[in-house]
Amino acid sequence: MIFVYGSLKRGLDLHHLLEGSRSAGPAVTCPHYRLFNLGDYPGIVEWPEGVEIEGELYEVTATTLATLDHAEGVDEGLYARRSICLVNHAPESAQAWFWLGSISGRPDCGTSW
């Protein structure tokens, strides 16, 4: 399962990359994260005084996952895909892309993008 919180969400710029993937509906993270505005897209980071971030869950194929990793800049070192804690879901049941760059001076988005 993939947790999406930004431009991959329904109705946003990159959602077409999830075409054919099964939506598992809305989801909310445990309060261990913050969401920052990086310009045209957001980035989630682990944070000691975090908030619950709203997003969507999808079941994806290995091919789609590779496409999404490319779109998120995993090979470029922009994001890393790893497990994320979700409210009302089994631990380690979902992954998300975490921002690896600086968030200095970036506005906090609150609970959603």
Tell me if residue 94 falls in helix, strand or coil: strand
Cα separations in angstroms, 17 against 30, 50, 67, 80: 26, 29, 7, 18
Q: Where are the domains of the chain?
A: 2-99
pLDDT at 91: 65
Which residues are tagged catalytic? 72
pTM higher than 0.85, yes or no? yes
Beta strands 94-99; 79-84: pairing state: antiparallel
Chain centre distance of CA 20:
19
Q: Tell me the residue length of the chain.
A: 113
Report the pLDDT averaged over residues 21-45.
Answer: 96
- How far apart CA 57 and CA 5 sit, in angstroms, is 9
Q: Please determine, looking at this structure, whether the domain spanning 2-99 carries the CATH number 3.10.490.10.
A: yes
Half-sphere exposure of 77 (CA within 13 A, CB side): 2
For 93, the token pair is 């049941």
Question: Which tens digit of pLDDT belongs to each residue from 55-96?
Answer: 999 999 999 999 999 999 999 999 999 999 999 877 668 999
The residue to which tokens 């598992």 are assigned: 24
Percent of the chain scored above 70 by pLDDT?
97
